[in-house]
Amino acid sequence: MIALILAVAFFQAGFNTLFGPMTALFADKVPDRLKGRVSAFASLAWPAGLLGTALIGLPAFTGNNGRVLALIGFTALLILPLLLAWPRALADVPTPPAGADDKQARPRLSATFYSLWAAKLLVQLSGNVLHSYFLFYLQDLLRHPSPHAPPTAEIGFAGIMTLSTIATALLSIAFGHSSDRADRRKPFLLAAIALMATGLGILILGSSWTAALIGYTLTTAGLGAFMTVDIALVAQILPSDRHRGRDLGVMNVANTLPAMIGPMITLTILDRMGGGYDGLFAFLLCALAGSAIILIANRTLR
Protein backbone atom coordinates (compact mmCIF):
# COMPACT_ATOMS: atom_id res chain seq x y z
CA MET A 1 0.00 0.00 0.00
CA ILE A 2 2.83 2.42 0.87
CA ALA A 3 4.52 1.68 -2.46
CA LEU A 4 1.27 2.39 -4.30
CA ILE A 5 0.76 5.69 -2.47
CA LEU A 6 4.34 6.79 -3.21
CA ALA A 7 4.03 5.77 -6.86
CA VAL A 8 0.83 7.75 -7.32
CA ALA A 9 2.32 10.74 -5.48
CA PHE A 10 5.44 10.79 -7.67
CA PHE A 11 3.40 10.32 -10.83
CA GLN A 12 1.05 13.17 -9.91
CA ALA A 13 3.99 15.44 -9.02
CA GLY A 14 5.68 14.80 -12.35
CA PHE A 15 2.44 15.01 -14.29
CA ASN A 16 1.42 18.34 -12.81
CA THR A 17 4.92 19.78 -13.19
CA LEU A 18 4.37 19.61 -16.95
CA PHE A 19 1.50 22.09 -16.94
CA GLY A 20 3.43 25.17 -15.80
CA PRO A 21 5.92 25.30 -18.72
CA MET A 22 3.35 24.05 -21.24
CA THR A 23 0.89 26.82 -20.39
CA ALA A 24 3.72 29.37 -20.26
CA LEU A 25 4.66 28.31 -23.78
CA PHE A 26 1.05 28.95 -24.83
CA ALA A 27 1.07 32.40 -23.21
CA ASP A 28 4.44 33.33 -24.76
CA LYS A 29 3.86 32.14 -28.31
CA VAL A 30 0.14 32.57 -29.12
CA PRO A 31 -1.27 36.08 -29.75
CA ASP A 32 -4.43 37.08 -27.86
CA ARG A 33 -6.62 37.08 -30.97
CA LEU A 34 -5.93 33.34 -31.46
CA LYS A 35 -5.76 32.16 -27.87
CA GLY A 36 -9.33 30.84 -27.78
CA ARG A 37 -8.95 28.75 -30.92
CA VAL A 38 -5.53 27.36 -30.02
CA SER A 39 -6.73 26.67 -26.47
CA ALA A 40 -9.72 24.79 -27.89
CA PHE A 41 -7.52 22.38 -29.81
CA ALA A 42 -5.09 22.00 -26.92
CA SER A 43 -7.99 21.30 -24.58
CA LEU A 44 -9.07 18.35 -26.71
CA ALA A 45 -6.38 16.44 -24.82
CA TRP A 46 -8.55 16.50 -21.70
CA PRO A 47 -11.63 14.65 -23.04
CA ALA A 48 -9.34 12.34 -25.02
CA GLY A 49 -7.53 11.55 -21.78
CA LEU A 50 -10.81 10.81 -20.02
CA LEU A 51 -11.78 8.48 -22.83
CA GLY A 52 -8.38 6.81 -22.55
CA THR A 53 -8.94 6.09 -18.86
CA ALA A 54 -12.25 4.44 -19.67
CA LEU A 55 -10.73 2.35 -22.47
CA ILE A 56 -7.81 1.24 -20.31
CA GLY A 57 -10.34 -0.12 -17.84
CA LEU A 58 -11.79 -2.51 -20.44
CA PRO A 59 -10.91 -6.24 -20.34
CA ALA A 60 -8.55 -5.85 -23.31
CA PHE A 61 -5.94 -4.53 -20.89
CA THR A 62 -5.54 -7.52 -18.61
CA GLY A 63 -4.58 -6.89 -15.00
CA ASN A 64 -3.43 -3.78 -13.22
CA ASN A 65 0.15 -4.17 -14.46
CA GLY A 66 -1.00 -4.12 -18.07
CA ARG A 67 -3.03 -0.98 -17.47
CA VAL A 68 -0.11 0.78 -15.78
CA LEU A 69 2.23 -0.14 -18.64
CA ALA A 70 -0.34 1.11 -21.16
CA LEU A 71 -0.63 4.39 -19.25
CA ILE A 72 3.16 4.84 -19.21
CA GLY A 73 3.41 4.08 -22.92
CA PHE A 74 0.60 6.43 -23.93
CA THR A 75 1.99 9.24 -21.76
CA ALA A 76 5.49 8.96 -23.24
CA LEU A 77 4.12 8.67 -26.78
CA LEU A 78 2.12 11.89 -26.44
CA ILE A 79 4.75 14.00 -24.65
CA LEU A 80 7.81 13.11 -26.72
CA PRO A 81 6.72 15.00 -29.90
CA LEU A 82 6.59 18.29 -27.97
CA LEU A 83 9.95 17.66 -26.32
CA LEU A 84 11.61 16.75 -29.62
CA ALA A 85 10.05 19.65 -31.55
CA TRP A 86 10.15 22.34 -28.86
CA PRO A 87 9.44 25.62 -30.76
CA ARG A 88 12.66 27.49 -29.90
CA ALA A 89 12.68 29.34 -33.20
CA LEU A 90 9.13 30.69 -32.77
CA ALA A 91 9.24 34.30 -31.57
CA ASP A 92 7.51 35.33 -28.36
CA VAL A 93 4.40 37.48 -28.48
CA PRO A 94 5.60 41.09 -28.05
CA THR A 95 4.63 42.78 -24.79
CA PRO A 96 4.36 46.56 -24.39
CA PRO A 97 6.98 48.26 -22.17
CA ALA A 98 5.91 48.81 -18.59
CA GLY A 99 4.77 52.36 -17.88
CA ALA A 100 3.10 54.20 -15.05
CA ASP A 101 -0.35 53.04 -16.13
CA ASP A 102 0.85 49.44 -16.29
CA LYS A 103 2.27 49.58 -12.77
CA GLN A 104 -1.01 50.95 -11.45
CA ALA A 105 -2.89 48.16 -13.23
CA ARG A 106 -0.83 45.37 -11.62
CA PRO A 107 -2.81 45.20 -8.35
CA ARG A 108 -6.05 45.10 -10.32
CA LEU A 109 -4.68 42.33 -12.53
CA SER A 110 -3.61 40.36 -9.46
CA ALA A 111 -7.09 40.63 -7.95
CA THR A 112 -8.61 39.49 -11.24
CA PHE A 113 -6.10 36.64 -11.48
CA TYR A 114 -6.95 35.28 -8.03
CA SER A 115 -10.69 35.66 -8.48
CA LEU A 116 -10.40 33.59 -11.63
CA TRP A 117 -8.26 31.13 -9.65
CA ALA A 118 -11.04 30.72 -7.07
CA ALA A 119 -13.73 30.31 -9.75
CA LYS A 120 -11.63 27.72 -11.56
CA LEU A 121 -10.99 25.82 -8.33
CA LEU A 122 -14.73 25.40 -7.69
CA VAL A 123 -15.43 24.34 -11.27
CA GLN A 124 -12.57 21.86 -11.24
CA LEU A 125 -13.76 20.49 -7.92
CA SER A 126 -17.16 19.76 -9.44
CA GLY A 127 -15.73 18.13 -12.55
CA ASN A 128 -13.02 16.18 -10.71
CA VAL A 129 -15.40 14.70 -8.13
CA LEU A 130 -18.00 13.77 -10.73
CA HIS A 131 -15.49 12.03 -12.99
CA SER A 132 -13.68 10.27 -10.14
CA TYR A 133 -16.85 8.77 -8.67
CA PHE A 134 -19.05 8.41 -11.72
CA LEU A 135 -18.11 4.76 -12.25
CA PHE A 136 -19.21 4.00 -8.68
CA TYR A 137 -22.45 5.84 -9.40
CA LEU A 138 -23.01 3.64 -12.46
CA GLN A 139 -22.29 0.52 -10.43
CA ASP A 140 -24.95 1.67 -7.99
CA LEU A 141 -27.41 2.11 -10.86
CA LEU A 142 -26.83 -1.50 -11.94
CA ARG A 143 -28.36 -2.68 -8.67
CA HIS A 144 -31.73 -1.54 -10.02
CA PRO A 145 -32.94 -3.42 -13.16
CA SER A 146 -33.23 -1.26 -16.27
CA PRO A 147 -33.99 -2.23 -19.90
CA HIS A 148 -31.30 0.15 -21.18
CA ALA A 149 -28.57 -0.90 -18.74
CA PRO A 150 -25.32 -2.32 -20.23
CA PRO A 151 -23.98 -5.71 -19.07
CA THR A 152 -21.33 -4.08 -16.84
CA ALA A 153 -20.71 -0.63 -15.42
CA GLU A 154 -17.29 -0.53 -17.11
CA ILE A 155 -18.80 -1.05 -20.58
CA GLY A 156 -21.47 1.55 -19.87
CA PHE A 157 -18.83 3.96 -18.60
CA ALA A 158 -16.78 3.53 -21.78
CA GLY A 159 -19.84 4.19 -23.94
CA ILE A 160 -20.81 7.31 -22.01
CA MET A 161 -17.21 8.52 -22.11
CA THR A 162 -17.12 8.10 -25.91
CA LEU A 163 -20.22 10.25 -26.38
CA SER A 164 -19.09 12.86 -23.85
CA THR A 165 -15.66 13.07 -25.51
CA ILE A 166 -17.21 13.90 -28.88
CA ALA A 167 -19.56 16.47 -27.33
CA THR A 168 -16.73 18.04 -25.32
CA ALA A 169 -14.49 18.34 -28.36
CA LEU A 170 -17.16 20.01 -30.49
CA LEU A 171 -18.29 22.40 -27.75
CA SER A 172 -14.73 23.35 -26.78
CA ILE A 173 -13.87 24.29 -30.34
CA ALA A 174 -17.11 26.29 -30.68
CA PHE A 175 -16.57 28.16 -27.41
CA GLY A 176 -12.91 28.89 -28.10
CA HIS A 177 -13.57 30.21 -31.60
CA SER A 178 -16.62 32.23 -30.51
CA SER A 179 -14.80 33.84 -27.57
CA ASP A 180 -12.05 34.97 -29.95
CA ARG A 181 -14.55 36.51 -32.34
CA ALA A 182 -16.48 38.22 -29.56
CA ASP A 183 -13.25 39.35 -27.87
CA ARG A 184 -14.89 38.45 -24.58
CA ARG A 185 -14.40 35.44 -22.32
CA LYS A 186 -16.56 35.82 -19.21
CA PRO A 187 -19.98 35.24 -20.89
CA PHE A 188 -18.69 31.96 -22.26
CA LEU A 189 -17.34 30.90 -18.87
CA LEU A 190 -20.76 31.56 -17.34
CA ALA A 191 -22.50 29.68 -20.15
CA ALA A 192 -20.20 26.69 -19.56
CA ILE A 193 -21.01 26.74 -15.83
CA ALA A 194 -24.73 26.86 -16.64
CA LEU A 195 -24.31 23.81 -18.87
CA MET A 196 -22.51 21.93 -16.08
CA ALA A 197 -25.27 22.86 -13.64
CA THR A 198 -27.90 21.57 -16.07
CA GLY A 199 -26.11 18.25 -16.32
CA LEU A 200 -25.88 17.88 -12.54
CA GLY A 201 -29.55 18.79 -12.23
CA ILE A 202 -30.43 15.95 -14.62
CA LEU A 203 -28.36 13.53 -12.53
CA ILE A 204 -30.24 14.62 -9.41
CA LEU A 205 -33.73 14.43 -10.95
CA GLY A 206 -33.20 11.17 -12.85
CA SER A 207 -31.87 7.82 -11.68
CA SER A 208 -31.57 5.96 -14.96
CA TRP A 209 -28.90 5.18 -17.52
CA THR A 210 -30.43 7.70 -19.92
CA ALA A 211 -30.24 10.44 -17.29
CA ALA A 212 -26.68 9.36 -16.46
CA LEU A 213 -25.65 9.58 -20.11
CA ILE A 214 -27.22 12.99 -20.72
CA GLY A 215 -26.26 14.48 -17.36
CA TYR A 216 -22.64 13.37 -17.48
CA THR A 217 -22.24 14.40 -21.12
CA LEU A 218 -23.57 17.91 -20.47
CA THR A 219 -21.45 18.34 -17.34
CA THR A 220 -18.27 17.11 -19.01
CA ALA A 221 -18.88 19.18 -22.15
CA GLY A 222 -19.47 22.26 -20.00
CA LEU A 223 -16.27 21.62 -18.07
CA GLY A 224 -14.28 21.19 -21.29
CA ALA A 225 -15.69 24.45 -22.68
CA PHE A 226 -14.93 26.24 -19.41
CA MET A 227 -11.33 25.03 -19.40
CA THR A 228 -10.83 26.06 -23.02
CA VAL A 229 -11.94 29.65 -22.43
CA ASP A 230 -10.29 29.76 -19.01
CA ILE A 231 -6.85 28.90 -20.40
CA ALA A 232 -7.15 31.65 -23.00
CA LEU A 233 -8.30 34.19 -20.41
CA VAL A 234 -5.60 33.29 -17.87
CA ALA A 235 -2.90 33.81 -20.49
CA GLN A 236 -4.27 37.33 -21.09
CA ILE A 237 -4.49 38.52 -17.48
CA LEU A 238 -1.19 37.33 -16.02
CA PRO A 239 -0.08 39.92 -13.44
CA SER A 240 3.59 39.90 -14.51
CA ASP A 241 5.15 39.35 -17.93
CA ARG A 242 8.44 38.41 -16.25
CA HIS A 243 6.93 35.69 -14.06
CA ARG A 244 4.50 33.93 -16.36
CA GLY A 245 5.76 30.46 -15.46
CA ARG A 246 5.41 31.16 -11.74
CA ASP A 247 1.93 32.64 -12.05
CA LEU A 248 0.76 29.80 -14.27
CA GLY A 249 2.14 27.36 -11.70
CA VAL A 250 0.00 29.08 -9.08
CA MET A 251 -3.00 28.85 -11.37
CA ASN A 252 -2.33 25.15 -11.90
CA VAL A 253 -2.89 24.59 -8.17
CA ALA A 254 -6.58 25.18 -8.96
CA ASN A 255 -6.34 22.05 -11.15
CA THR A 256 -4.48 19.86 -8.64
CA LEU A 257 -6.02 20.90 -5.32
CA PRO A 258 -9.49 19.47 -6.16
CA ALA A 259 -7.89 16.05 -6.67
CA MET A 260 -6.56 16.28 -3.09
CA ILE A 261 -9.63 17.61 -1.30
CA GLY A 262 -12.27 16.02 -3.54
CA PRO A 263 -12.09 12.51 -2.02
CA MET A 264 -12.32 13.84 1.54
CA ILE A 265 -15.35 15.97 0.70
CA THR A 266 -17.00 13.16 -1.27
CA LEU A 267 -16.54 10.48 1.38
CA THR A 268 -17.83 12.83 4.09
CA ILE A 269 -20.98 13.69 2.12
CA LEU A 270 -21.66 10.10 1.05
CA ASP A 271 -21.21 8.89 4.63
CA ARG A 272 -23.67 11.44 6.00
CA MET A 273 -26.16 10.84 3.18
CA GLY A 274 -26.14 7.07 3.65
CA GLY A 275 -24.36 6.41 0.35
CA GLY A 276 -26.81 8.39 -1.79
CA TYR A 277 -25.39 10.56 -4.55
CA ASP A 278 -28.06 13.27 -4.67
CA GLY A 279 -26.46 15.14 -1.77
CA LEU A 280 -23.07 14.97 -3.47
CA PHE A 281 -24.44 16.31 -6.75
CA ALA A 282 -26.25 19.08 -4.85
CA PHE A 283 -22.95 20.07 -3.23
CA LEU A 284 -21.30 20.21 -6.65
CA LEU A 285 -24.14 22.46 -7.83
CA CYS A 286 -23.43 24.81 -4.92
CA ALA A 287 -19.74 24.88 -5.89
CA LEU A 288 -20.71 25.88 -9.44
CA ALA A 289 -23.01 28.59 -8.09
CA GLY A 290 -20.12 29.96 -6.03
CA SER A 291 -17.91 30.01 -9.12
CA ALA A 292 -20.54 31.91 -11.12
CA ILE A 293 -20.96 34.46 -8.33
CA ILE A 294 -17.20 35.09 -8.22
CA LEU A 295 -17.06 35.68 -11.97
CA ILE A 296 -20.11 37.95 -12.01
CA ALA A 297 -18.82 39.99 -9.06
CA ASN A 298 -15.50 40.70 -10.78
CA ARG A 299 -16.12 43.69 -13.07
CA THR A 300 -12.62 43.60 -14.58
CA LEU A 301 -13.09 40.26 -16.30
CA ARG A 302 -14.49 40.57 -19.82
pTM, two decimal places: 0.76
What gap in Å lies between CA 34 and CA 140, rounded to an integer?
Answer: 44
State mean pLDDT over 51-78: 69
The pLDDT assigned to 29 comes to 66
101 band by pLDDT with thresholds 50, 70 and 90: very low
Most confident of 26-40, 52-66, 159-173: 159-173
> Is CATH 1.20.1250.20 the right assignment for the domain spanning 2-55+105-297?
yes
In sequence order, the 6+-apart residues with CB closer than 8 A to the CB of 137 are 203, 212, 277
Residues 270 and 277: beta-carbon distance below 8 Å: yes
State mean pLDDT over 223-237: 84
State mean pLDDT over 161-175: 87
Has residue 39 got a pLDDT over 80? Answer: no
Of residues 261, 301, 272, the one with CA closest to residue 128: 261
Kindly give the residue spans of alpha helices, DSSP state H, lying in the chain.
2-17, 19-29, 35-43, 45-56, 63-84, 100-141, 153-182, 186-205, 209-236, 244-272, 278-297
State mean pLDDT over 264-292: 88
Entry field: residues in the chain: 302
Of residues 148, 132, 119, the one with CA closest to residue 211: 148
User: Domain boundaries in the chain?
Assistant: 2-55+105-297
Percent of the chain with pLDDT over 70: 68
122 band by pLDDT with thresholds 50, 70 and 90: very high
